């Protein structure tokens, strides 16, 4: 019994010591400006770290919305730039030029694609309800992707430039003469430009762009660079190998391009065909 009393006596002293130490520490930090500042600084650091982590997590979940907003903004900027380049009007300000809208750019994302077939396609996540129609051009920031082949409500199938039916009017940049771009069917980075005469000053490294002589692709869209050229003895033209700027195996974000003047162009062509056939 005496042993138990002695043990409790010792423990009581120890507990009292801890209690007094706690009171002393509390008084020191609550009364001392230095220690209050030190604790505040540590707490701020911890709070900043935790808040930063929370912000990163929130930002991660907000990325789809932010990416969509950025894609919309990029589409509008691209549209404005293309409209300025294509407008023949002189002395038009940026504000006034918004009245001229021959092209409309709609952002979309690639959700599926084929690459190693003879005839390849892309599937994008925008469809008829988003304003996508057949025969609209599809571009990426690095160049051509293809043309819309068919649509559903929310998706569209795109005929890739890596297709046996690819037949795009193109030209060497700064040369006013266009030929035809086709895909030979082998390397997904190599296209063939034909019908360019040898008297033109074409050299390796030249940039190849769309000619604009169609109702599908806007003029001046990037295609690739001349990587090899050789004369064709049968035609007198160049055989030009073009390495694409676009790596279609990596394309994720695209723009679908609507030519707002296309109905007028189609109507004019239909009238020409009627006249050529002798009917009015």
Beta bridge partners of 225: 207, 243
Q: What residue has token string 């925008």?
A: 126
Token digits of residue 22: 């706690």
pTM for the whole structure: 0.64
Q: What is the pLDDT of residues 163-200, one digit of tens each?
A: 999 999 999 998 889 999 999 999 999 999 999 999 99
- 77, exposed or middle or buried, with CB in 10 Å at 0-12, 13-18, 19+? exposed
Specify the length of the chain in residues.
280
The Cα-based distances of 191 to 97, 184, 227 in angstroms read 35, 6, 10
Q: Which of 99, 103, 84 is nearest to 258 (CA)?
A: 103
Q: Which domains does the chain have, with CATH numbers?
A: 103-262 (2.40.10.340)
**Overall average pLDDT of the 243-265 stretch:** 87
Q: What angle do CA 228, 229, 234 make, to 5 degrees?
A: 145
Q: What is the pLDDT of residues 12-61, one digit of tens each?
A: 555 555 665 565 555 555 555 544 445 444 443 443 344 344 444 444 44
């Amino acid at each position: 019994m005496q042993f138990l009393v002695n043990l409790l006596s010792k423990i009581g002293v120890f507990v009292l010591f801890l209690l007094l130490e706690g009171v002393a520490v509390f008084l020191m930090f609550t009364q001392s400006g230095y220690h209050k500042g030190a604790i505040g600084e540590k707490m701020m650091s911890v709070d900043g770290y935790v808040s930063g982590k929370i912000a990163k997590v929130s930002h991660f979940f907000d990325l789809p919305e932010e990416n969509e907003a950025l894609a919309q903004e990029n589409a509008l900027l691209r549209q404005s730039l293309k409209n300025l380049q294509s407008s023949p009007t002189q002395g038009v300000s940026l504000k006034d030029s918004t009245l001229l809208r021959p092209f409309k750019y709609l952002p979309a994302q690639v959700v599926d694609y084929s690459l190693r077939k003879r005839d390849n396609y892309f599937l994008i996540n925008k469809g008829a309800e988003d304003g996508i129609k057949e025969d609209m051009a599809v571009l990426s920031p690095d160049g051509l992707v293809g043309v819309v082949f068919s649509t559903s409500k929310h998706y569209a199938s795109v005929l890739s430039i890596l297709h046996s039916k690819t037949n795009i009017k193109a030209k060497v940049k700064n040369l006013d003469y266009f030929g035809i771009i086709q895909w030979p069917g082998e390397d997904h980075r190599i296209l063939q430009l034909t019908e360019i005469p040898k008297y033109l000053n074409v050299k390796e490294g030249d940039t190849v762009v769309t000619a604009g002589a169609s109702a599908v692709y806007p003029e001046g869209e990037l295609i690739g660079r001349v990587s090899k050229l050789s004369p064709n003895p049968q035609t007198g033209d160049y055989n030009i190998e073009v390495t694409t700027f676009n790596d279609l195996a990596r394309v994720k974000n695209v723009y679908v391009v609507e030519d707002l003047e296309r109905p007028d162009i189609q109507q004019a062509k239909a009238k020409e065909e009627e006249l050529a056939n002798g009917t009015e």
